[in-house]
Chain A
Amino acid sequence: MMKMKGPFSLLPLLLALLLAAGCLRGRQPGQRGTGQKQVIQNSGSDTMVNLAQAWAEEYVRIKPAVSVEVSGGGSGTGIASLINGTADIANCSREMTFAERERALQNTGKDPVEHLVGYDALAIFVNLQNPLHEITLEDLAEIYGERGRIERWSDLGVQPPDGKRDKIIIISRQSNSGTYEYFREAVLGKTRDFRLGTIDMHGSKDVVELVARTPGAIGYSGMGYATDRVRMLRIARKHGETAYAPTVPNTQKGIYPVARPLFMYTLGEPEGELRDYLEWIHSPEGQDLVVRSGYVSLSRTGSHAPAQGEEHQP
């Protein structure tokens, strides 16, 4: 008799589970929590996911009562989650489009508010065996673009990196990461697509690792992902112009050609814990983590801020 207790004692538990799920269905993000704990849901750009993770990890030490859930998935996912109310903060490595703002306003009745939190410089990586040190945006477009003319290292005037195989192994990202979209916009232009047959890695780190292991490869990623096993190329806009290295000062001065602002979006002006969190992100402590994660912090001068995006004083 006693032996049969097992499966039966599970049934009420199961029911309780489902009941609990039912009760909590109408929860509000940001106000939900286990016990006393506040949960902030933060999702979006894969470029920013490591930065967001660093903030979340540090913040729980300062405020143990707040727990930040970080998920990646890309800028589009972050915005979608913000719009349907499953995220409090959307990380975005591009600006929200007009259509997305409209949809947010329609769905939630609140205007999304933009918070500039740092910059990211996209670096072009090659293997250490590769003799190449700088490249132009034009050449990059011919390497990566659909019907591009450059397929071999000799087309760029360099010796094949491993001595014999001339073909360039082109490493890219999966087709809807923010990095992919930004690279397309900044390098290929508004209308051109990538060529087929690129090797599309799932994460920025993957790209760098693969370049480090593959002599004939070229790849792109946020400069935060650089390691000493790959080389970052200096980039010029056109042939004959000066090439700049992806460094913090060059990005803050706006002369490095492939850099972009990083945003966090909230629905309406943030309040309560959410406001505290964003304020802390803009504080020197928060910005220090930006630098330590390999991104570019907000420049204090403001006037030289690269590209679009207004400056938010911390």
Chain B
Amino acid sequence: MTPGRRHLEPLKEWLIERFIWLCGVSAIFFVFAIFIFVFREGADYFFSGFKAGEFFTSIEWYPTSRTHVRYGALALITGTFSVSFLAMFLAVPFGLGAAVFISEFCPPRLKEGLKIVIELLAAIPSVVWGFIGLTIMNSLIVRLFNAPIGLNMFNGAIILALMSVPIIVSIGEDALKAVPDSYREAAVALGCTRWQMIFRVLLPAARNGLLAAVMLGIGRAVGETMAVLMATGHSIRIPHGVLEPVRTLTATIAAELGEAPVHSDHYQVLFIIGILLFTITFVINITADFIVRGIGRK
């Protein structure tokens, strides 16, 4: 290092540390920016013409009607939650079962292999899942369940379940791993079977972590777009059975945003739906995080 450059060192150091700080807080900045920019696009309508009552209680979604434009999103909200909960109904038992299997029963080599496969399962792009739903699952469901239509809630839920299982497994496994071995030893010493040990000792001890795993799974399912757009049938209705098609909030944005004239009411309502989705996932993520930190402290 030449002497000339040496006296620049403190300045350089200062600049770099500023830059590092800036990058550090950028994550906060981006989260705020997302909220602000998405809200900004929908704000005009939100404060002037938006009817929250209609939005949350009516199923009549007629954004382009010539005579009577209505933005009732109840069917979309119901659609999002029904398909997400059905997905969780399928994914949670299997996800937690697999987490227990991997953490408690698996020989180490197989464990590595399984974890890799599950990581790869998580990597499959949602549009590929959607494609699978549209083609393979569509025909399968019509044939196996004799459903009138293959694109329905069940199709979407199976795909969402497969998509959120990896999160549930990996976070659930972490939670089980965090249970001290002394608990297991104590249980075995008392003569528990493994069955008893898992149900009476492990699951209660890892309760919070498992709960967080399930919540993050729901978060993933609620926010998923392409797969549900292609697989759920996209029909505005309150479903009466799992073999009926539904439409979700995310799919509605994806399908209609491209064709809504910029800054029209319809366009702004889609951004308001975006804010609703942001809020839902925000709450889910924060809660899950607090639950996880909760066990960390214990």
A and B in direct contact, judged by CB atoms within 8 A: yes
- Chain A residues in the interface with B (C-beta under 8 A): 46, 72-74, 76-77, 79-80, 84, 165, 167, 169, 174-177, 180-181, 184, 190-191, 193-194, 196-202, 206, 209-210, 213-214, 216-217
Asked whether A191 lies within 8 Å of B261 as measured between CB atoms, the reply is: no
Q: Which of A79, A167, A197, A217 contacts B236 (CB 8 A)?
A: A197
If A77-B259, A84-B262, A177-B259 touch, does A200 touch B234 (CB 8 Å cutoff)?
Answer: yes
Q: How many residues of chain B are within 8 Å of chain A by beta carbon?
A: 36
Q: Using Cβ atoms and an 8 Å threshold, which residues of chain A touch B279? A: none
**Given the complex of chains A and B, what is the CA–CA distance between A184 and B259 in angstroms?**
17
Within B202-232, the residues touching A (CB, 8 Å) are 229-230
Q: A119 to nearest B CB, angstroms?
A: 22
**Given the complex of chains A and B, what is the CA–CA distance between A190 and B67 in angstroms?**
8
Asked whether A181 lies within 8 Å of B64 as measured between CB atoms, the reply is: yes
Asked whether B262 lies within 8 Å of A199 as measured between CB atoms, the reply is: no
Q: Using Cβ atoms and an 8 Å threshold, which residues of chain B touch A79? A: 261
Q: A225 to nearest B CB, angstroms?
A: 16
Name A197's closest neighbour in chain B (CB-CB). B237
If A175-B63, A176-B63 touch, does A213 touch B258 (CB 8 Å cutoff)?
Answer: no
- List 20 contacting pairs A-B, 8 Å CB cutoff, sorted by A: A77-B260, A80-B261, A80-B262, A84-B262, A169-B149, A175-B61, A176-B64, A177-B259, A191-B66, A193-B62, A193-B67, A194-B62, A196-B59, A196-B61, A196-B237, A199-B245, A200-B235, A200-B247, A202-B234, A213-B142
If A74-B259, A202-B229 touch, does A213 touch B138 (CB 8 Å cutoff)?
Answer: yes
Asked whether A165 lies within 8 Å of B148 as measured between CB atoms, the reply is: yes
**Given the complex of chains A and B, what is the CA–CA distance between A194 and B138 in angstroms?**
25
Name B244's closest neighbour in chain A (CB-CB). A197
Between A and B, how many residue pairs show CB distances below 8 Å?
A: 90
Asked whether B260 lies within 8 Å of A199 as measured between CB atoms, the reply is: no
| B119 CB within 8 Å of chain A | no
Asked whether B256 lies within 8 Å of A199 as measured between CB atoms, the reply is: no
Q: Which of B64, B255, B260 contacts A202 (CB 8 A)?
A: B255
If A175-B64, A176-B266, A193-B68 touch, does A199 touch B149 (CB 8 Å cutoff)?
Answer: yes
Asked whether B148 lies within 8 Å of A214 as measured between CB atoms, the reply is: yes
- Chain B residues in the interface with A (C-beta under 8 A): 59-68, 75, 134, 138-139, 142, 148-151, 229-230, 233-237, 245, 247, 255-256, 258-262, 266
Q: B126 to nearest A CB, angstroms?
A: 14
Q: A18 to nearest B CB, angstroms?
A: 15
Given contact pairs A74-B259, A76-B261, A190-B66, enumerate 17 new A-B contacts (beta carbons under 8 Å). Answer: A46-B259, A77-B260, A80-B261, A84-B262, A169-B148, A175-B61, A176-B63, A176-B256, A184-B66, A196-B236, A197-B236, A197-B237, A199-B245, A200-B247, A200-B255, A202-B255, A210-B151
Name B245's closest neighbour in chain A (CB-CB). A199
**Given the complex of chains A and B, what is the CA–CA distance between A169 and B138 in angstroms?**
15
Q: Using Cβ atoms and an 8 Å threshold, which residues of chain A touch B64? A: 175-176, 180-181
Which of A176, A191, A197 is the most central at the interface, judged by chain B CB atoms within 10 Å of its CB?
A176
**Given the complex of chains A and B, what is the CA–CA distance between A77 and B68 in angstroms?**
21
Asked whether A175 lies within 8 Å of B150 as measured between CB atoms, the reply is: no
Asked whether A199 lies within 8 Å of B148 as measured between CB atoms, the reply is: no
Which of A165, A184, A202, A209 is the most central at the interface, judged by chain B CB atoms within 10 Å of its CB?
A202
Asked whether A198 lies within 8 Å of B150 as measured between CB atoms, the reply is: no
If A176-B63, A196-B60 touch, does A73 touch B258 (CB 8 Å cutoff)?
Answer: yes
Q: Using Cβ atoms and an 8 Å threshold, which residues of chain A touch B151? A: 199, 210
**Given the complex of chains A and B, what is the CA–CA distance between A80 and B148 in angstroms?**
39
If A167-B148, A199-B245 touch, does A76 touch B259 (CB 8 Å cutoff)?
Answer: yes
Asked whether B260 lies within 8 Å of A176 as measured between CB atoms, the reply is: yes
Which of A167, A194, A199 is the most central at the interface, judged by chain B CB atoms within 10 Å of its CB?
A199
Name A202's closest neighbour in chain B (CB-CB). B255
Asked whether A214 lies within 8 Å of B149 as measured between CB atoms, the reply is: yes
Q: Using Cβ atoms and an 8 Å threshold, which residues of chain B touch A174? A: 234, 255-256, 259
Name A174's closest neighbour in chain B (CB-CB). B255
Q: A92 to nearest B CB, angstroms?
A: 12
Q: Using Cβ atoms and an 8 Å threshold, which residues of chain B touch A73? A: 258-259
Asked whether A214 lies within 8 Å of B229 as measured between CB atoms, the reply is: no
Asked whether A74 lies within 8 Å of B258 as measured between CB atoms, the reply is: yes
**Given the complex of chains A and B, what is the CA–CA distance between A214 and B60 in angstroms?**
26
Name B259's closest neighbour in chain A (CB-CB). A74
Q: A271 to nearest B CB, angstroms?
A: 27
**Given the complex of chains A and B, what is the CA–CA distance between A193 and B68 in angstroms?**
9
Q: Using Cβ atoms and an 8 Å threshold, which residues of chain B touch A169? A: 148-149
Q: Which of A191, A213, A216 contacts B150 (CB 8 A)?
A: A213
Asked whether B234 lies within 8 Å of A214 as measured between CB atoms, the reply is: no
